Chain A
Amino acid sequence: DGGITQSPKYLFRKEGQNVTLSCEQNLNHDAMYWYRQDPGQGLRLIYYSQIVNDFQKGDIAEGYSVSREKKESFPLTVTSAQKNPTAFYLCASLPQAGGASTGELFFGEGSRLTVL
């Protein structure tokens, strides 16, 4: 079955540690996204990538880094510079960006990060 796989589902880390969240898709979608969601809040865009080897900052990129070396993979690193990283992280993909966009994001099941 095609879809988006995020891992790990739950992650605990100590302050000062970097952590990498994995996101893999086998939908052959061009664009991939990382959003952060805090309790009772909407989704805030961290980074997005519309093509391999290229990505753009979203509204809350500080303290995060990404790479897009392969079409199917878009890992997110939460660095120690992120002051309040405890949140629900959602990876998503879009079949096509640009004028062909249909606005239909496909989401993974999410990763819950807790900083102890």
Chain B
Amino acid sequence: GQSLEQPSEVTAVEGAIVQINCTYQTSGFYGLSWYQQHDGGAPTFLSYNALDGLEETGRFSSFLSRSDSYGYLLLQELQMKDSASYFCAVDVQGGKLIFGQGTELSVKP
């Protein structure tokens, strides 16, 4: 079976830094992706890690440790528009992506 665990909700204030963790147990592993979804909308891609380490894209960074089956998404300088759901997804078969249950991030003024 496949399982991805992430916190169901996180709250932070504008300007702060927040980290959303994802641990996984899957039959295969090609890489870990992160997606953002605003209410009623489609998910949009944020980042992808195939190898261990940190990937930085603007205010967002993503980290992967394959030996620990663990990754996280780091959001810096939080803005109100960052309030959304964030999903980790594991590519288990070179093109078969399985999603976590999502973390709802609330950014407060």
A90 partner residues in chain B, CB cutoff 8 A = 42-43
Cβ–Cβ < 8 Å partners of B100 in chain A: 42
Task: Contact check, A43 vs B87: say whether CB atoms are below 8 A apart.
Answer: yes
What is the interface size of chain B, counting residues whose CB is below 8 A from a CB of the partner? 25
Contacts of B20 in A (CB 8 A): none
The yes or no answer to B25 lying at the interface (CB within 8 A) is no
Partner of A103, one of B48, B101, B102: B48
Cβ contact of B94, chosen from A40, A56, A98, A107, cutoff 8 A: A98
Distance between Cα atoms of A25 and B37 in the complex (Å) = 20
Find out whether the CB atom of B30 lies under 8 angstroms from the CB atom of A101: yes
> What A residues does B30 contact at CB under 8 A?
99, 101, 103
User: Closest chain A residue to B92 by CB distance?
Assistant: A45
Within 8 Å by CB of B99, from A43, A56, A104, lies: A43
0/1 interface trace, chain B 70-99, chain A, CB 8 Å (1 if under): 000000000000000001010100111111
| Chain A interface residue number, banded | 20 to 34
Task: Assess whether B101 is in contact with A101, with CB atoms less than 8 Å apart.
Answer: no
Closest to B43 in A: A107
CB-CB nearest in chain B for A33: B97
- A71-116, CB < 8 A from B: 90, 94, 96-99, 101-110
Task: Pick the 7 closest A-B CB pairs, nearest first.
Answer: A97-B95, A103-B48, A103-B33, A107-B42, A43-B99, A42-B101, A98-B94
Q: A90-B43, A101-B91 known; 14 other A-B pairs, CB under 8 Å?
A: A40-B102, A43-B43, A43-B99, A48-B96, A58-B96, A59-B98, A90-B42, A102-B31, A103-B50, A104-B33, A105-B33, A105-B43, A105-B97, A107-B43
